[in-house]
Structure 1
Amino acid sequence: MKGFSYSSNGYYFVTICTQERNEWFGDAINGKMVLNRYGETVKKQWLWLEKQFKYVYLDEWIIMPDHFHGIIMINDLKSVGTGRDLSLQMKHKIKSLSELMGVFKTTSSKLIHKTGLNGFHWQRSFYDHIIRNEIELNEIRQYIRSNPSNYDND
């Protein structure tokens, strides 16, 4: 959205696809997603974001054979009360949603390439949506949960 700071506190829905929608991450079987080692790598790197950046909270997410859906919350207040020196907290720069997705895509790609799968690539950009209220948040959560069951219709 023009003029909006994507490092602002809030919930964001993201979708990231593999280049040419290649199915690298596993299979949707009977409404469940079964990840292969590349899918597990993507999972590990998604979870790493929350550990690496204290202002990031990961909500509902799913890895599909050829894409990823996730809800990410940026909340700079989350790091308060962690026992860390508050003077240090004030010095950190909040990464924008685009920067966070860049870190996620880069680190997951590098780890997948290390396994020998050099042909793996994410699409250049990603889809994002600012979640404006709790009704929308719950609808998107349900969409993510039902994605494996609806994969053939995606």
Structure 2
Amino acid sequence: MPDSPASHRLRTGRYAEPNRIYLLTTNTLGREPVFADYALGRLVVHQFRKAQSLGLANSLAWVVMPDHFHWLVELEKCSLSSLMRQTKSLTTREVNLSTARHGPLWQQGYHDRALRRDEDLVKMARYVVANPLRAGLVKRLGDYPLWDAIWV
């Protein structure tokens, strides 16, 4: 699938370093709230865990929101693009099989932010997992089912 000029510009200069920590974010196509369905959100969680078990990335914190996810990872033995391509491809396949839908699930591209180890990673993880609170989806973090962090 050819990239649009805008999505190509987003990747200009992108370089993925093993053992570097990244905050990754991607949205569903048209910001459709697919993962308001808990069972479908669990399919994304399964892919996060699979990436970790394969040694691709160490998941530090994540949250699956109805129309996007945030994933704080330490990159291990793959590139950012292959990690995101695999995660998005496999979740698309699983969601489509589970719902009898067809076609793309995710917007093209993703946002990444490389973090320094001296940054407050716990603070970043709290920011990630607090998304449901800020979005008004729950009153207490414990009430939202689709998040995790190694520090909590």
Residue of structure 1 equivalent to 2:128? 144
Decide whether the 8 Å contact of 2:27 with 2:69 is kept in 1. yes
Equivalent residue in structure 2 for 1:103, among 61, 86, 103: 86
> Aligned residues: percent identity?
25
Residue of structure 1 equivalent to 2:113? 129
Q: Which runs of 4+ in 1 moved over 4 A?
A: 1-4
Q: TM-score by structure 1 length? A: 0.73
Aligned-pair distance for 1:10? 1.0
Distance 1:143 1:60, change over 3 A: same
Residue of structure 1 equivalent to 2:44? 42
- CA offsets, 1:104-141, max 9 Å, x none? 00011011111212255101010000011343422311
**CA distance, structure 1, for counterparts of residue 117 and residue 68 of structure 2:** 25
- CA offsets, 1:1-58, max 9 Å, x none? 86563043211000111011110102xxxxxxxx522111111111111112x25211
Unaligned runs of 5+ in 2: 1-10, 138-152
**CA distance, structure 2, for counterparts of residue 124 and residue 4 of structure 1:** 16
Match of 1:138, SS state, is helix
Decide whether the 8 Å contact of 2:23 with 2:73 is kept in 1. yes
Counterpart code for 1:97: L
Decide whether the 8 Å contact of 2:56 with 2:78 is kept in 1. no
Q: TM-score by structure 2 length? A: 0.74
Residue of structure 2 equivalent to 1:51? 53
**CA distance, structure 1, for counterparts of residue 56 and residue 45 of structure 2:** 19
**CA distance, structure 1, for counterparts of residue 48 and residue 67 of structure 2:** 15
The structure with more radius of gyration: 1
**CA distance, structure 2, for counterparts of residue 119 and residue 97 of structure 1:** 23
Match of 1:148, SS state, is helix
